[in-house]
Chains A and B, each alone.
Chain A
């Protein structure tokens, strides 16, 4: 079974802090994704990566950066957290692009105060 894990289920940070959200997958998938989910707005893609050290902007990349130094790990970085980044963050992975299922981690509920 594919397993995608995220470093924290719940996280509380202060405005201006640098925040790292970690995601690890154990199925040797090429592609990894970061989404945020907000009530009334659904799931929106922040960044994705098709290979180690590669990254592509999604629909809402502003205020975020990512890092993929190893194939199994994809990190989302909030350089200076703001209250409007309070959200549910979901990581996903898939084997390749197109025609392949995405599998999701359990999510991280981030609150920025």
Chain B
């Protein structure tokens, strides 16, 4: 099956810093999503981005589908950005598609 690798596994930053999270995947995908899991366990949708670049406030994401990676940028980090960030991808499978998740990046923002 498809492999999804995220780096770094852990990241500790001071409030106000910028960060880049990476997601590498091993096959062509028709869906790529970034999620933030908050301390209560809820997965929050950040971006649906199988290709191209999107921005939402302090967050932006870029997926280079031909090179099989995606980047999530967080600027001017706040303590509420802490949590685990997951990348998840879906490969074409004749209507039987399902998401495969990476193992996540745990981000800790220190005040």
Chain A residues engaging chain B, CB cutoff 8 angstroms: 33, 37, 42-43, 45, 48, 50, 56, 58, 88, 90, 92, 97-107, 109
B19 within 8 A of A: no
A2 → B minimal CB distance (Å): 9
Determine which of B41, B45, B48, B97 lies in contact with A98 in the assembled complex, contact meaning CB atoms within 8 Å: B97
Q: Which of B68-111 contact A (CB under 8 A)?
A: 86, 88, 90, 92-93, 95-99, 101-104
| Whole-angstrom distance between the Cβ of A73 and the nearest chain B Cβ | 20
Are A102 and B33 within 8 A (Cβ)? yes
Q: Quick check: B99 and A106 within 8 Å, CB to CB?
A: no
Question: What residues of chain B lie closer than 8 Å to A45, measured between beta carbons?
Answer: 98-99
Secondary structure of the B side of the interface?
loop
Chain B: residues with Cβ within 8 Å of the partner, total of 25
Q: A43: which of B31, B86, B95 is its contact (CB, 8 Å)?
A: B86
Contact with A along B11-24 (1 / 0, CB 8 A): 00000000000000
- On B, residues with C-beta under 8 Å from A are 30-31, 33, 35, 40-43, 45, 48, 50, 86, 88, 90, 92-93, 95-99, 101-104
Q: Kindly name the residue among B35, B88, B90 whose own CB sees the greatest number of chain A CB atoms within 10 A.
A: B90
Q: Are B30 and A99 in contact (CB under 8 A)?
A: yes
Bound CA span A107–B44, Å: 12
A106 to B101, Cβ gap below 8 A? no
Q: Is the CB of A106 within 8 A of B41?
A: yes
Q: How far is the CB of A37 from chain B (nearest CB, A)?
A: 8
Q: Is the CB of B31 within 8 A of A99?
A: yes
Across the interface, A106 reaches (CB within 8 A) one of B42, B92, B96, B104, namely: B42
